[in-house]
A and B are shown apart, each in its own frame.
Chain A
C-alpha cells in the first residue's frame, strides 16, 4: 500500500484529479465570497466538460475546446444569475434545477449533435498534451507531479494566489467581498451588489468550465454522460469548509484529489469497484465531519 504512494504513475495522476475539483472550488469560492449560495457546481462542471468536447471536436484545437468550456460554464452562470439574482428565485432551488438542466441538456445534445448515447469519443477530439518542464521533470517522484501535466493544472494552481490577491486588493474583488458581507453598505456606496454578484457567477462559470475541460479533454478525450460524477459536490464541500478562502481551498482540493487518484489506483488491486468508487465521497464526508467537529469544539 505504502509503495503505491511512491509509484510514479500515481504521482502523475494526482494533479489530474486535483485540477477539476480545484478549479470548480475556486469558482465556488468567488460565489461564496460574493454572497451567492451556488451549489450548482456539479452542473457547471458538466456543462464545461461537454462544451469542451464540442469545441475541440469542431475546431480541432484543445485551446478552442477550453474556451468553449468556459463559454459553457459561463452560460450556466448566466442562467443562475437570471433566475436567482434577477427573478429572485431561491438559490437552492435554482441550483438543483441547474444541476438537472446540465445533466439533461448535455445528454440531449450528445444525442442530438453526435447521435450517440452514453459516451462520445472520436479521433477528432483534440485533447491537451502534458507540458514537460525541463529541470523539474527529472526530479524523482515530484517531477512526475509537477511536470507533464496539462496546461489547465498550471492555470488552476496559478489561480490560487491570483484569486487571493484579487479578493484582497482588486477593486472588483473587494466589492465582491462587500457584496457577500454587507451588500447594503455596498449599495450605499453606489455599487449595485447584484451586478458584482453577476461577475462572480461569470467568473465561477469560467473556472468551472475549465475544470470540466480537464475532465473531458485533458484526462481523457471523450465525453461520458454525467462525467462530473459528484466532483462538483465535493467542490461545494471544499468551499463550505474553507469559507471560500483560496489557500485553504488549495489544501482541501489536494487532499480530495489525492484520495480520488488513490481510489483510481487501487482499482487495479482487485478491490471491488464499488469500494474504490465510494472513497472520494467517504473521504469528503470524513473531512467534513472532522473539520465541523473541530469547529464546533473551538468556535472562532
Chain B
C-alpha cells in the first residue's frame, strides 16, 4: 500500500480512520432523531463560535476556562503518577467555600475576593490531600478513594445550600449572592469575565513549576518511575501529598472562578452536572498530558458542548450528543496516544496500598 508508507502516511491513515469513525457516530446519531445534517452543522458552528456579538463564543471560552482549569489540576496529579479522579469533589469544595466566605466575610471587596479565592484553594487542596492520606496511611487506592470522596462533599454542599445557607426567596436550591462588588468584571466590550486570567496564571505557574523547579522535576520523576524515585531517596510520600495539594488547590481555584465569575453564588449541582471535572480529565488524556496542548483540547471539548447546545436549539438534536462524541473521541484517540504514558503506574488492584 502506497498510502501507508512514508513518514506521514503511517501517521495519517490511522488518524483519518479515527475521524471517519467519529463522523459515522455523529451521522448515525443525528439521523436517529431525523434532524437535517446541514441544520445540525450550522447550529453547531453558531452555538460554539457565533451568536450576537459572539455571545456563544464567549460562553464557549467561559466553559473552556473551567475545563482547562480542571485539566491542569488533574494533569499535575497524573504526571506524578497519582490517579486523582476526585477533581469534582475538590472543585465543589472550592466553589462552596468561595461562596460562603464571599457572602459572610465583611471587608473591602478586593480583600474579600482574595481571601475567598485563597480559602477555596485551601479547601480544594485539603480535600485532595485527604485522598492522598487515605492512600499513604491507610492503604486505600487513590483511584477509588479520591472518587468516593466526591460524594460526601457534593451532598454536604447540597445540604448547606438547601438548608442553613439557602437563599429561600429565590425558590431555588442555591446560596445567597456574593456581594456585587466582588464579582469578576467582564473584559471591556464582552460578556467574558476575567476568570480566564486566573486560570492562565495558574496554568503558567503549574507548567513552570513542573519544568523549572527541582520539586516539579522530582514529582514527574516519581510519576515516570516510582521505584527509581524511591531508590534514589526522594521523599515520595511527601512529594505525593504536595502534588495532590497543588492539584486540589487549582481545582478549588476553578470553583472560585465559577462562583465569582459566572454564578455569583453556589448553585446546587452547578459544578457537578456540566461534568467539568470529567471533561478536564479527558481533555488531558486527549493530548497525552502534553501541557501546551491542554488549552487547545479544553477549548475543543468546550466547543463540542456549547456547539451541541446550538444543535439542540436549531436542529432539535439532543445536546447529550456531545457526551457521546466526547466519549467516542477519547476511545478512538486516547487508545492510540496515552496508553504508554499511563502504563507506568500500578494497575493491580491491591498494589496501590503498599506504597
Residues of A within 8 A of B (CB): 32, 37, 39, 79, 83-84, 87-94, 96-98, 100-101, 103-105, 107-109, 111-112, 117, 230, 233, 236-237, 239-240, 243, 272, 274-275, 277-278, 281-282, 284-285, 288-289, 292-293, 295-296
Contacts and interface: CB of A to CB of B under 8 A. Distances in A.
Nearest to B85: A96
Contact of B140 (A87, A88, A289): A289
Contacts of A285: 145, 148-149, 152
Interface stretch (B219-227, B233-241, B324-332): B324-332
B353 to A, nearest CB: 6
Contact of B33 (A37, A88, A112, A230): A112
Contacts of B144: 233, 236-237, 240, 288
Interface string B325-355: 0111011101110110011000101100100
A288 B149 CA distance: 12
A177 to B, nearest CB: 15
- Majority secondary structure, B binding face: helix
Given A112-B318, A277-B155, A278-B155, A293 B138 contact: yes
B291 to A, nearest CB: 18
A108 B139 contact: no
B147 interface: yes
Contact of B323 (A88, A104, A117, A282): A104
A96 B330 contact: yes
A279 B265 CA distance: 27
Given A243-B349, A275-B155, A281-B151, A93 B334 contact: yes
Best-surrounded residue of A96, A109, A295 (most CB of chain B within 10 A): A96
Given A104-B322, A107-B323, A289 B138 contact: yes
B148 to A, nearest CB: 5
B184 interface: no
B148 A240 contact: no
Contacts of B112: none
Interface string B152-190: 100110110011000000000000000000000000000
Given A96-B281, A97-B330, A100-B323, A284 B349 contact: no
A109 B32 CA distance: 9
B129 interface: no
B321 A292 contact: no
Contacts of A292: 134, 138-140, 353
A289 B278 contact: no
B55 interface: no
B331 A94 contact: yes
Given A100-B330, A112-B32, A83 B335 contact: yes
Nearest to A294: B139
Contacts of B281: 96
A94 B281 CA distance: 12
A39 B143 contact: yes
B285 interface: yes
